[in-house]
Amino acid sequence: MCLLAGNEHEAMAYAKLQNIPRECWFYPRDEKDLLFRSNFYVLVIGSAGMNIPGSMFEKIYSLALQRGAIGRI
């Protein structure tokens, strides 16, 4: 599961609140963190996209949706 959040701490707090084990989610720091991953769901939480330009968030979000769909039926 890809947690798009304002920062990794926010993603970690959300996962802990939802009882999601650490090995079941990741926080992409940039688009490079998404390039070699596939078959995952994307959750946008908290202040995601508020600390970066909108175009950068859209790029990461689009790439996450695209990479996450690979290998999913």
For residue 29, give every residue at least 6 positions away whose Cβ sits within 8 Å of its Cβ, in sequence order, or none. 8
pLDDT value of position 52: 76
Phi and psi at residue 39, to the nearest 5°: 60, 65
Q: What is the pLDDT along the chain (73 residues), one digit of tens a residue?
A: 999 998 999 999 999 999 999 999 999 988 899 999 999 999 999 888 787 777 888 999 999 999 999 987 7
C-alpha to C-alpha distance for 67 and 14, rounded to whole angstroms: 22
Domain range for residue 52? 2-69
pTM for the whole structure:
0.88
Give the chain's domain count: 1
